[in-house]
């Protein structure tokens, strides 16, 4: 989960530091593959009568580190380990429903002191106006097309501001799904278009063919 989200002015700024979530798990829950030099750590919890596994994948080169939420019929991923689901890799569960389950499991892990927050680098474009703070991330998952994630935080809160999160699955400037929050899709899209326009004008976003990505 992101903590201490702050921007020092109302001007757009680009950041390269974010807070990610990793797990403290007992070693007997870990497994490793010498072939791809990856390790995974996991715990299983029950939510509304169903069993779910939350797993943290670590690669030796630190370029393929992410969290997975595993259900009986689906697999979801949090690529940057910030506490928000980025992709449904398998199954037909909605991102919003997966996010609800994921947040519950993270809360359980945190209550058991099995989460640790680590500062890692990632490319992020952030902008702030009088009403909201905006955060755009571009993801480049292996074997798939890039996509964007937009978070909009409401101003006026010192701690835990309400957040709306949406996914632009093709990085084409169109929000396909709202994962978290109560903002209407039309309003969210209007704000996304505004942030894209400002980012392109200020050379913080890059347009390649039909895709708009964080530099």
Question: Rounded distance, CA 86 to CA 80, Å?
Answer: 8
Question: Rounded distance, CA 191 to CA 177, Å?
Answer: 14
* Alpha carbon distances (Å) from 144 to 139, 140, 147, 169, 214: 10, 7, 9, 10, 17
The CA dihedral of 75, 81, 83, 89, to the nearest 10 degrees, is -20
Tens-digit pLDDT profile for residues 141-194 = 876 789 999 999 999 887 889 999 999 999 999 999 999 999 999 999 999 999
Tens-digit pLDDT profile for residues 187-213 = 999 999 999 999 999 999 999 889 999
């Amino acid at each position: 989960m992101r903590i201490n989200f702050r921007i020092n002015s109302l001007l757009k700024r680009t950041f390269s530091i974010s807070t990610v979530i990793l797990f403290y798990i007992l070693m007997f829950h870990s497994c490793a593959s010498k072939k791809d030099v990856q390790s995974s750590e996991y715990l299983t919890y029950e939510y509304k009568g169903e069993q779910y596994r939350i797993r943290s994948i670590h690669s030796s080169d630190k370029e393929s580190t992410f969290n997975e939420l595993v259900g009986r019929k689906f697999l979801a991923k949090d690529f940057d380990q910030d506490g928000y689901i980025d992709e449904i890799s398998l199954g037909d569960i909605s991102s919003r429903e997966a996010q609800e389950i994921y947040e519950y499991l993270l809360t359980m892990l945190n209550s058991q002191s099995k989460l640790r927050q680590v500062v890692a680098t990632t490319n992020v474009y952030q902008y702030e106006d009088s009403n909201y703070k905006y955060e755009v991330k571009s993801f480049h998952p292996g074997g798939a097309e890039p996509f964007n994630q937009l978070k909009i935080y409401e101003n006026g809160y010192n701690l835990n501001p309400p957040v709306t999160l949406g996914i632009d699955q093709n990085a084409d400037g169109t929000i396909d799904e709202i994962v978290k929050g109560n903002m209407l899709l039309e309003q969210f899209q209007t704000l996304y278009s505004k942030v894209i326009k400002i980012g392109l004008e200020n050379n913080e976003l890059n347009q390649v063919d039909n895709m708009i990505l964080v530099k």
